[in-house]
Amino acid sequence: MPALAIKARLRNRSRFGERVDHLAFRGDELVGRVAVFQNKTGSNEQIRDVKIHVHPEHRRRGLGRALLAAGIEDVPTDGSTKLLSAWTSTRVPSGGAFAERLGATLGLHLRVSQVDLRTIDSALMREWASVDPKGHRLELIDGDVPDRLMAATIDLLNSGINRSPREGLELEDVKFTEENIRDWERQRKTRGQEAWTMLAIEESTGEGVGFTSVFFDRRVPTVIHQGGTAVDTKHQGRDLGKWLKARMAEKIGSEIPEARFIRTDNAGTNAPMLAINDRMGFREAWWGDIWQISLDDARRSAGL
């Protein structure tokens, strides 16, 4: 990934939260970092997200615990923050081992999958893309959500995303609003990323009944990141999900010829979505885990 893209992501801040970073140096060499994000979106504000990175050559020296201590030392213990949450990947097994040593609990096990666009079944995609369920049309959102589609987008996000399996995560429903969607759009543009969303609209009511979204960075065109995909429960069983996913795959193939992979992550227990992805040719790449630990337990583990 180009350095400019990394800088843009690190410097970008949400208006619906605050992030505090601590860095660890050995001489002039940066060897570790912790970032603690305080969520202020109106939901799950009792959880703070924690990211800890330690250079591979400097692990198993206590830097991880020292960074954790620095990151959470000033987090109020008045009960406003109850949990810490963190993501690890099987690509870096030491992350999961560190979480276990701290006493964190595995909340959600995610399968990270990708489909190779060079070998995707084009005939199957044409079949799915031609479903055209009666009484429905597709609306493409290229970039920011237009005002006329904002209400439908909010309804679909609130109903669709919140139906995703949470397994052991202690989460409330996420509350999507126009304000936090606009903030995400601002962040995306600041990072240099683009987004496409396809909405399935019921003609008779004008309501949004399904969506799929992707985002990507033209500086790193080989990987397209799949965002959410969901179909309203009253409209399932009509192949809307296949229709949306196939139309999006065809658009990517025709308009971003450099793209090689569409990459996504799903809860290992999300059988319906995994079934569609598997039919499309998605294959397991690695696994991601979301861990949780109470603030009190984390402070004890960090020696505070």
40-56 pLDDT per residue, tens: 998 999 999 999 999 99
Q: Which two tokens stand for residue 201?
A: 């609209």
Contact between residue 266 and residue 113 where contact means Cβ atoms under 8 Å apart: yes
* 187 vs 191: CA distance, rounded Å: 6
What value does the mean pLDDT take over residues 171-187?
Answer: 94
pLDDT of residue 299 exceeding 90: yes
* 120 vs 143: CA distance, rounded Å: 26
Tell me the domains of the chain and their CATH numbers. 3-109+289-301 (3.40.630.30), 113-287 (3.40.630.30)
* 99 vs 280: CA distance, rounded Å: 34
Measured between its terminal Cα atoms, the distance across the chain in Å is 37
What value does the mean pLDDT take over residues 85-102?
Answer: 96
What value does the mean pLDDT take over residues 275-304?
Answer: 96
In the predicted model, what is the mean pLDDT of the chain?
95
Helices assigned H by DSSP within 172-285: 178-191, 240-255, 271-280
* 6 vs 33: CA distance, rounded Å: 15
pLDDT, residue 269, reads: 92
- Band of the pLDDT at 181, cuts 50, 70, 90? very high
Helices assigned H by DSSP within the chain: 3-11, 63-72, 93-102, 122-129, 147-160, 178-191, 240-255, 271-280, 295-301
pLDDT of residue 112 exceeding 90: yes
CA-based Rg of the chain, rounded to a whole angstrom? 21
* 147 vs 190: CA distance, rounded Å: 21
The predicted model scores a pTM of 0.92
pLDDT, residue 1, reads: 85
- Which stretch of 77-81, 101-105, 116-120, 159-163 has the lowest confidence by average pLDDT? 159-163
**In this structure, which amino acid lies at residue 106?**
L
Ramachandran angles phi, psi of 175, nearest 5°: -105, 100
